[in-house]
Each structure stands twice: as structure tokens, then as C-alpha cells.
Amino acid sequence: MDARFVLVEPSHPGNIGAAARALRVMGFHDLALVRPQRYPHADATAMAAGADDVLEHARVCDTLAEALADCVFVFATSARRRTLGWPEHDARQAAEHAASRRGTMAFVFGRERTGLTNAELDACQYMIHVPTAEDYGSLNLAQAVQIVAYECRMAHGAGPAADAPPAEPMPAHEDLARFYEHLEQAIVDIGFLDPDNPRQLMRRLRRYFNRSEPTAQELNILRGILKHAQHPEPGGATWQRIRDSLDGAAAATITKQGDQE
């Protein structure tokens, strides 16, 4: 399994080193750090306990998008559930899901104290929730990395058979990001989304497409549809249908879709 483990703004260098050790012992080497507060640091080296190669090759990124640019599936970890939930797996289910796919899988871990923001979760397709004791749910960052890395190692042997037909290529994370930008602009252009009152419409659309897992070719088809919806041939059937559909219907639809979080 080609897996990348991403730590967002880790505050303690010792946690970075302990996470590197957790990855190395499970056979993983791809570690990305998004705006670490203190790195490189002697505490990271000490806690790595010999996993120096993981630290030496760790990529330090300015943004989460940079860390995820070439990934095809992104799993976010969260200690708490959100009002508007994301598709959720436990660590074992997520590892099995990742092992059945091709391409680079990313597992994103948030800040030690506050975790990931909703905006950062928007960049991910699935959420991983590790069930803990009801009266004590404090899980150290490196421990969470260890749990996910262990399940990935166990699931790796259950991946696609060697003679399985090749799967269609999946879009890279940056291609998905461009699609969502295109989608938002398109539904603004056709009057379906009011940019001054967006509510939760785009977040709901992200969840829908994340669940459906469009391939790279399917994503190109969707973008072609969006392009034609934005620029229909004047007087053509598409132009006429769009004009008719916006006669009072768009505002009502937006209101129905705009459930508050």
C-alpha cells in the first residue's frame, strides 16, 4: 500500500519523532508535516528511536493541499463527530478500503489539542474515528498514527489480487480540488447557488461526490457537463432548459438545500 501520513501543525516535536517510529516499525516511510511548530528538533530525533530515515525524508509543507497534491484518496482522523458528518470508517475499515484501491492514500492527523478544522475536513473524502472508552478518550497523536499504520499493514495482504483487471485511474487530490472550484463557480453562474448565502450546499455536494468516488475519466466528463452548463449555445435546447428551470425554482431549491449545520 502506498500510504502517506500527514500531521497538521504538530506542536510537540517529540510527537513527530514518535510518529516516525510508529510508521517505520510498520514499514511505512512517507511522512508529511504541515506547518510544524518546532522541526527539526532534537526531541523529534530522540523519540524516533532510530527511525531517522523517516525524519530525513519527511516533507515539510506550507499547506494541507500541498501535502495531498498527488494523493487519490484522503482519510481524516477525528476524535469528535461533526454536526454535518463525513462518511466515516473505523481504522480497520479505512485500511481495508485503502488496500483495495490503487494510488497514494493519505491519512491526515490534526493538531494535538484541537484536531482538524471543518475546512480541512472538506479536503478529505472519509473520516476515521477510533472508538475509545466513554469516560476517557484521550489518544496521543503518535498512538493514533500507530493504530492506523498497524491496520494498514494488516490490510495490505488483503489487497487486489495480482491478476485482477486494472482499475481505472483515480483523480489526484489537486484535480478534485479544481473540480470543486469549477462546480461551485458553475452553480453560481447558472443561479443555483447564492454566493452571499451558501449555507451548507457545497459541503453536501462534496460529501456526495466523495462517496461516489468518481474516476479521473468520470471527473473529466463532469467538468465537461459543467462547462456546457455555464456556456450553453444561445437558443439551443440546453439554453432553453436552463432558462426555464431558473424561473423561480432556483431560489426555492437553494432554501431547501441550505440546512444549517
Task: Identify whether the C-beta of residue 127 lies closer than 8 Å to the C-beta of residue 77.
Answer: yes
Strands 3-8 and 30-34: parallel
Per-residue pLDDT of 130-141, as tens digits, reads 888 888 888 899
Dihedral of CA atoms 159, 163, 164, 166 in degrees, nearest 10, equals 110
The candidate with the shortest Cα–Cα distance to 3, out of 107, 92, 96, is: 107
Tally of domains in the chain: 2
Same domain, 105 and 64: yes
- What pLDDT shows up at residue 258? 44
Task: Indicate the residue among 121, 156, 191 that finishes a domain.
Answer: 156
- 164 within some domain: no
Same domain, 91 and 25: yes
- 208 within some domain: yes
- What pLDDT shows up at residue 45? 97
- The domain of 252 spans 173-257
The three-point CA angle 11-142-39 to 5° equals: 35
For residue 118, the SS3 value is: helix
Same domain, 188 and 238: yes
CATH number at residue 9: 3.40.1280.10
- What pLDDT shows up at residue 251? 40
Same domain, 178 and 236: yes
- What pLDDT shows up at residue 84? 64
Q: DSSP secondary structure string, 144-180? A: HHHHHHHHHHHHHTTS--TTSPPPPPPPPHHHHHHHH
Between residues 246 and 199, the one the model is more confident about = 199
Per-residue pLDDT of 155-197, as tens digits, reads 987 555 545 556 788 899 999 999 999 999 999 998 999 999 8
Same domain, 109 and 227: no
Same domain, 180 and 224: yes
Task: Identify whether the C-beta of residue 199 lies closer than 8 Å to the C-beta of residue 101.
Answer: no
Same domain, 30 and 137: yes
For residue 17, the SS3 value is: helix
Strands 3-8 and 73-77: unpaired
pTM of the full predicted structure?
0.77
Interval 111-122 mean pLDDT: 92
